[in-house]
Every structure is written in C-alpha cells, then in structure tokens.
C-alpha cells in the first residue's frame, strides 16, 4: 500500500509527541518532504487516545492505559509546555472528537465496557475544562469519524 509508510510515521510521531509536517507534490500520494520536530513528551503511557486542540492548546482525551483500562483522563498542554491533568465524568475510548469555535465535542465511543451514545461538549476557560452533557445519539456509535461544515457537525 502506497500510504502505509507515511501513515505509520505520522502515527508513531503523534504517539510520542512530535509535530509532523509534510508537503505533497501536486495530486501525488507521496510526500516530497517530511519534517519531524519534537514538541513535548506525552503525559503518560496512553494509547488509542484522541489528540486535537481546544482553542490554541493541544488536548489529549481518554484512550487506554498499557493494561487496557479505558481512561477518563483529559490533558491540556499549558503555555509553559507542561500537561495539565483533568478527569472527565466518564471514560472515553474510540470516541469521535471535533473542535467547533473553540469547543470540543466528544461523540459516542466506549464508556467503560459498553458502547456509548453520549455527546459531550468540552470548554476551556480560565485554566479549567468544563464538561456539558448534550442530547445522546439515537444509537451508540464507536470508531466513527466526524466533520464540520460551516460550523455544523
């Protein structure tokens, strides 16, 4: 598969706390150049987490620890490069995550051992994460993808 090596490089870099930028050539599926820069060590041994942004800060949500336990952890990268730890009201794994206007939405996934229909909004304000439960999905979902078009999920 043509994409596999680049995908593995990006995956390894995200897990270990590196920033990866790549340039493609026209409509080509290959990278012309890949730049890897260490930005910060990840907060702990977490796999299968969600990594994104909330406002201008990097955000790491849920995932599994190395024993396979689903985590309720949430980490926000501070301005001084340290991870600040918070806890969600529920564990989160294989959850769709998207940011819209500085707020992060967590959709479905696993909450403990069961599939989840939960939709949660996270907001970053005054150095704290606030969590608001929204209306549940009609059915539980896991491993879903999410997109935003004109500020609509």
- Give the model confidence (pLDDT) of 56-112 as tens digits: 888 999 988 888 889 999 999 888 888 899 999 988 989 999 999 999 999 999 877
Residue indicated by tokens 């270990």: 16
- Residue 118: per-residue pLDDT: 93
Residue indicated by tokens 């967590």: 106
pLDDT at 119 over 90: yes
Look at the chain and count its residues. Answer: 153
What pLDDT digit, counting tens, does each position of 15-71 carry?
Answer: 444 555 555 556 656 666 666 666 677 777 788 888 888 888 889 999 888 888 899
Element (H, E) at 75: strand 73-77
What is the mean pLDDT of the segment spanning 131-151?
Answer: 91
pLDDT at 143 over 90: no
Which residues lie below 8 Å from residue 80, measured CB to CB, with a gap of 6+?
none
Is residue 109 a contact partner of residue 95, using CB atoms and an 8 Å limit? yes
Cα 54 from Cα 51, distance rounded (Å): 10
Token digits for 144? 């879903």
pLDDT at 6 over 50: no
Cα 151 from Cα 148, distance rounded (Å): 6
147 closest CA partner among 84, 105, 86: 105
């Amino acid at each position: 598969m043509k994409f596999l090596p680049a995908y593995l490089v990006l995956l390894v870099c995200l897990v270990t706390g590196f920033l990866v930028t790549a340039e493609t050539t026209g409509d080509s599926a290959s990278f012309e150049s890949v730049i890897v820069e260490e930005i910060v060590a990840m907060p702990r041994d977490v796999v299968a987490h969600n990594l994104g942004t909330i406002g201008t800060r990097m955000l790491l949500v849920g995932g599994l620890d190395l024993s396979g336990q689903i985590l309720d952890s949430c980490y926000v990268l501070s301005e001084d490069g340290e991870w600040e730890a918070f806890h969600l009201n529920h564990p989160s794994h294989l959850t769709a995550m998207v940011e819209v206007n500085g707020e992060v939405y967590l959709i479905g996934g696993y909450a403990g051992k069961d599939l989840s229909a939960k939709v949660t909004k996270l907001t970053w304000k005054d150095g704290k994460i606030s969590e608001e439960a929204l209306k549940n999905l009609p059915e539980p979902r896991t491993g879903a993808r999410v997109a935003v078009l004109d500020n609509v999920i």
